[in-house]
A and B are shown apart, each in its own frame.
Chain A
């Protein structure tokens, strides 16, 4: 079955960027949609955006427009989420998840903690 494995924890300075990867195994990567969801400490889930690798098309939540870029490399079955102009409020666990046609997420990656601190 599909498994998503994310890159390791990151510590970043305010104003910098972070790029998190999500490598898929099982199934046909180019036929997936991959979404990114974040969760600040003690808070709920927040959708950031998605990419459809077979089309190379990404779309983003309005809140993150202009600050996030989601890409995919079909040759390595890996999706990426890059968030720029980091601030302390971006400290969160970032998850990738495969999105099914009914707009539900399964499976999820294990999460990547990004800490933004000076």
Chain B
């Protein structure tokens, strides 16, 4: 199986743009879709992007997902940061047996 590695924490100022990375340890990042979830304290996770770069209805276009085969990683980019974006973010993919893998999570601080 493979692992998804995320930075433990990132911080940025309101109005700026932040990118959170998610690196796959083995196998191609392009082999299986990558999703991103937002989790605010005390709440269930919610999807911000799915199938690499799609957004569920209701998620603002400030959130965008992408993959980069050259670095074997996925990224979540949040532009026009708002204080309400402060949360934990998790990437997620799956292996050839459809077993699900989560990244360790990244705490985003909007200062």
Interface, chain A (partner B; CB < 8 A): 35, 37, 44-47, 59, 61-62, 95, 100, 102-111
The 4 A-B residue pairs with the shortest CB-CB distance in the complex, in nearest-first order: A47-B100, A108-B44, A104-B50, A104-B35
Among the 9-residue stretches B11-19, B21-29, B73-81, B90-98, the one with 4 or more Cβ atoms under 8 Å from chain A is B90-98
Q: Which of B54-111 contact A (CB under 8 A)?
A: 56, 90, 92-94, 97-105
Cβ of B90: which chain A residues have Cβ within 8 Å of it?
44-45
A103 B98 Cβ-Cβ under 8 A? yes
A111 to B97, CA, bound (A): 26
Cβ of B105: which chain A residues have Cβ within 8 Å of it?
44-45
B33 to chain A, nearest CB (A): 5
B44 A110 Cβ-Cβ under 8 A? yes
Contact of B35 among A62, A105, A110, A111 (CB under 8 A): A105
Q: On chain B, which size bracket covers the interface?
A: 20 to 34
B47 A105 Cβ-Cβ under 8 A? yes
Which chain B residue has the least Cβ–Cβ distance from A109?
B44
A100 to B100, CA, bound (A): 12
B104 A44 Cβ-Cβ under 8 A? yes
B46 A106 Cβ-Cβ under 8 A? yes
A45 B102 Cβ-Cβ under 8 A? yes
A102 to B90, CA, bound (A): 17
